[in-house]
Amino acid sequence: MGNLCGSSAKCANASSPLASKTSLPSNTTSNSTSSSKTTHKSSVSSLPSFKSEASPAVSVKSFSLIELKSATKNFGSNSYLGEGGFGCVYKGWIDENTLAPTRPGAGIVVAIKKLKRESFQGHKEWLAEVTYLGQLRHENLVKLVGYCSEADNKLLVYEYMQRGSLENHLFRRGVQPVSWAMRVNIATDVARGLSFLHRLDTQVIFRDLKSSNVLLDSDFRAKLSDFGLARNGPTGDKSHVSTRVVGTRGYAAPEYIATGHLSVKSDIYSFGVVLLELLSGRRALDEDRGSTEETLVDWAKPYLNERRKIFRIMDTRLEGQYSKREAQAIASLALQCLHSDPKNRPSMSEVLQVLEDLKQSKDTTLLPPRAHSRE
C-alpha cells in the first residue's frame, strides 16, 4: 500500500493507519477452523458482522507456520513471487479439500503473504485483512483461504491470481496490451466489487483502490485485493467517518486528503482514477513526466468534457481499436466520479449500471487506427 506523503516516502504519522479511534468493531465470533494451537486466537476472535445475501457465512483456516513452510518449501527462492508494502509473497501448494500442504504440482496453488517484522503496515493491517476477507465472499473480491499468527509471524493465504495485477498489464514493458473489451470488463468487475462493499448493511470503504490492488485470474476476471486499509463506513445519519489520512497519492480523493473525512464517495473518486488509467495507459502519478503532468487527473480532465478530444488521452497501444461511443461514455463517467464535490459523484451502483449497459450494447464501431498524440 502507498501513502500520501510523497510518491514513495512513508508518512511519519501513519505508522499505525488503523489507530484506536478507527479500530475495527468486534461483535461476532470468528469462523476460523483452527489447526494451529499456537495461533493468537484473540486477535481474530471477534469480527464485525456484515449482512448481505451475497455474503454468506464463511470460514478461513488457521494455518501453523510449519504448514506454510511446508507449502512453500521453507519460503524458498523457487516459491518467491514478489514483494509489496506488506512483505514478501510466495507461491504455495495445498490440498483442495483438507488444505494441508502438498508437494508442488499437487493440489491447488495459493499465494502466501508474509509480513515483514519491520513492515510499515504492521499487525493492524494484517488484522484488517483477516477481519474483512475472513467474512466477505464475492466473485470480485480475492478469496482469503486462511491466516497464520505465531509470535511475530503474521501470514495470509489467498487464492492464487494467475495473471497478477492490472498495474503490470497496463504499464509494464513487454506485456501484451489489454484489449478494449477486456478493459471494459475489468472496469465492470471492479465496480461490481465496490458496489457490493458499499451496499452491505455495514458499509465497507475500501480506501486504497488502485491498479496494483486489482488482481486478474486466468480469464482476466478482476478482483479487489489488499484490505489492509479498509474500514467501516459511517452509521446513522453521518455522512463520513473521520480518520487518519492514508492511501496512495494520485488516487486519494481531495476532500479526504484535506480533512480526513472518509466516505464511500472517496472510493468512487479512486475508481475514476482507475478508469483514466484504463483509458490512457498512463499511471495515476508519473513523476518522470514533469510537474505539469504530475497527476493523471490534472492532465486528463480538460479532455474529458469534449467528445472530439477524447482520442488525445486514449492509450496508443490500443492502436485505435476501441468503440468511440464506449470511450466517450467511460470518459464522461470518469469525470463524474472525479467531481470535486463528493455529493455530486454517482453512487457505485449507478456507476455499475452504466458499465453493464455498455457491455450489453451491440455497438462495435471502432475508431480507425491513427497516430494519437499522448501530449
**Model confidence pLDDT, tens digit, residues 52-62:** 444 444 679 99
- Give DSSP secondary structure letters for 340-353: SSGGGSPPHHHHHH
Q: What is the mean pLDDT of residues 345-373?
A: 74
Per DSSP, the chain holds a count of helices (H) and strands (E) of: 9, 16
* Contact status, residue 327 vs residue 307, Cβ threshold 8 Å: no
For the cut 80, the answer to whether the pLDDT of residue 368 exceeds it is: no
Q: Quick one: fold of 164-360?
A: Transferase(Phosphotransferase); domain 1 (1.10.510)
Please state the residue numbers annotated as binding site for ATP. 114
Hunting for cell 504455495 — which residue is that? 92
**d(C-alpha 18, C-alpha 246), whole Å:** 9
Q: What is the DSSP letter of 313?
A: G
C-alpha cell recorded at residue 330: 467511460
Residue 8's contacts (CB-CB under 8 Å, 6 or more residues apart) are: 2
**Model confidence pLDDT, tens digit, residues 167-190:** 999 998 888 999 999 999 999 999
Residue 285: burial class (beta carbons within 10 Å; 0-12, 13-18, 19+): buried
> Where do the domains of the chain lie?
20-159, 164-360
Q: pLDDT above 70 covers what percent of the chain?
A: 78
Pick the catalytic residue: 189, 208, 267, 315? 208
**Model confidence pLDDT, tens digit, residues 230-271:** 999 887 777 778 888 888 889 999 999 999 999 999 999 999
- The model's confidence at residue 124, banded by pLDDT at 50, 70 and 90, is confident
Residue 268's contacts (CB-CB under 8 Å, 6 or more residues apart) are: 194, 337, 342, 345, 346, 347, 348, 351
Q: What is the mean pLDDT of residues 94-118?
A: 92
In this prediction, residue 292 carries a pLDDT of 54
Considering the domain delimited by 20-159, tell me its CATH architecture. Answer: 2-Layer Sandwich (3.30)
Nearest to 373 by CA among 282, 294, 275: 282
Q: Is 208 considered catalytic here?
A: yes
Hunting for cell 507456520 — which residue is that? 65
Residue 245 in 3-state DSSP? coil
Rg, Å, the chain Cα set? 21
Q: What is the mean pLDDT of residues 293-313?
A: 89
Please state the residue numbers annotated as binding site. 114
- The model's confidence at residue 306, banded by pLDDT at 50, 70 and 90, is confident
Spell out the alpha helix ranges (H) of 161-212. 166-171, 180-199
